[in-house]
């Protein structure tokens, strides 16, 4: 077994590739983030190896036999010593793909929900250079047996993410995705992993990535690992955080508008009381002034942060352009 170190707690374990006769493709990597997925990881790896020789499993601190089974199935295993969350697992795969010279990167879940035999259809728009990010959508033409509570939650998160990111898709939470070399080069995620798919939409907007969707099917053979309601609230909280980071003007303007609306309402109440009683309702008046002041301050904060964000993005693009010029 050969072991190399990418950083202080990430190691690469090379498994034996037992498959041959793969389809002729550009350099395509299939990445499978996994945390305690010993039950399904072997079959997912074996089926994925039918489409490319380069299948990696990012083991995110599993305590079961995920590493051993994935290695024996023929995958290359990138191991996190501790559980870091899906965002870091995806970042690890992106680093690997950049260093490996991968022209396309496909992510598929390791819990058996996705069908590896749909890899080609998810990958096709990237290989045809029609898209930089392809989302495998559970809500297009293929009808899957999705539990009702999951369906409601997924549609709710998709609606919130679409409005916030201003990038419409039909399935914002799908983990079955493909990325072009351009996307591989620019993407890096900062969240905990609970909302990394939503963060992809924000970054797609930021980096001008072209998004496409293809229909996929999904299998829910297992119960959810986490409490679905608690998990949903965590995702929603992370989406709100993403909005504040990536679209500060939208985030703070909305709050500022609500404060101004409340202040105006309280001001009208104060005027109405004075007209009817000739008495100035100081309490209502002070609340009105407070809300209006908060509204103005919040709007100002949004404008300042929006300007800072745009300046930072312009500087980042200038640095990247300079680096490209030096390379060429």
Residue 163 is classified by DSSP as: H
Q: Where are the domains of the chain?
A: 3-246, 248-327
What pLDDT sits at residue 1? 37
CA atoms within 13 A on the CB side of 57: 35
Which band of pLDDT confidence, cut at 50, 70 and 90, is reported for residue 70? very high
Distance, in Å, from the CA atom of 136 to the CA atom of 127, rounded to the nearest integer, reads 15
Distance, in Å, from the CA atom of 275 to the CA atom of 267, rounded to the nearest integer, reads 12
**Is the full-model pTM beyond 0.85?**
no
Q: What is the largest CA-CA distance in the chain?
A: 90
Distance, in Å, from the CA atom of 292 to the CA atom of 211, rounded to the nearest integer, reads 40
Angle at which helices 41-48 and 66-73 pack, to 10 degrees?
30
Residue 82 is classified by DSSP as: S
Residue 328 scores a pLDDT above 90: no
Average pLDDT over residues 308-318: 69
**CB of 132 within 8 A of CB of 179?**
yes
24-33, 186-195, 214-223, 309-318 — which is least confidently predicted?
309-318
Alpha helices in 101-224 (DSSP H): 119-127, 148-165, 181-186, 196-206
61-75, 122-136, 189-203, 287-301 — which is least confidently predicted?
189-203
What pLDDT sits at residue 4? 36
What pLDDT sits at residue 166? 85
CATH class of 3-246: alpha beta
Residue 90 Cα distances to 175, 177, 232, 256, angstroms: 10, 11, 20, 35
């Amino acid at each position: 077994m050969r072991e190399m170190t990418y950083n202080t707690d990430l190691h690469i374990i090379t498994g034996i590739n037992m498959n041959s006769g793969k389809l002729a493709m550009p350099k395509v990597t299939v990445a499978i983030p996994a945390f305690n997925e010993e039950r399904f990881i072997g079959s997912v790896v074996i089926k994925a190896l039918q489409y490319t020789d380069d299948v990696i499993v990012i083991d995110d601190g599993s305590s079961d036999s995920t590493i051993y089974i994935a290695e024996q199935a023929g995958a290359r295993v990138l191991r996190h010593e501790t559980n870091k969350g899906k965002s870091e697992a995806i970042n690890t795969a992106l680093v690997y793909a950049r260093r490996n010279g991968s022209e396309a990167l496909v992510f598929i879940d390791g819990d058996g929900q996705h069908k590896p035999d749909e890899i080609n259809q998810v990958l096709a728009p990237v290989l045809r250079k029609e898209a930089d990010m392809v989302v495998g959508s559970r809500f297009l033409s293929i009808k899957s047996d999705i539990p009702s509570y999951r369906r409601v939650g997924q549609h709710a998160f998709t609606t919130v993410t679409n409005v916030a990111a201003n990038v419409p898709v039909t399935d914002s939470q799908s983990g079955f995705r493909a990325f072009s070399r351009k996307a591989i080069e620019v993407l890096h995620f900062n969240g905990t992993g609970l909302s990394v798919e939503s963060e992809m939409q924000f970054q797609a907007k930021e980096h001008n990535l072209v998004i496409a969707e293809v229909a996929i099917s999904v299998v829910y053979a297992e119960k959810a690992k986490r409490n679905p309601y608690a998990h949903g609230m965590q995702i929603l909280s992370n989406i709100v955080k993403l909005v504040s980071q990536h679209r500060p003007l939208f985030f703070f303007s909305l709050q500022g508008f609500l404060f101004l609306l409340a202040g105006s309402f309280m001001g009208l109440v104060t005027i109405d009381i004075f007209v009817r009683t000739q008495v100035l309702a100081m309490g209502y008046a002070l609340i009105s002034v407070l809300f209006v002041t908060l509204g103005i301050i919040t709007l100002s904060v949004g404008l300042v942060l929006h300007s800072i964000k745009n300046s930072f993005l312009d500087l980042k693009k200038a640095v990247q352009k300079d680096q490209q010029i030096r390379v060429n």
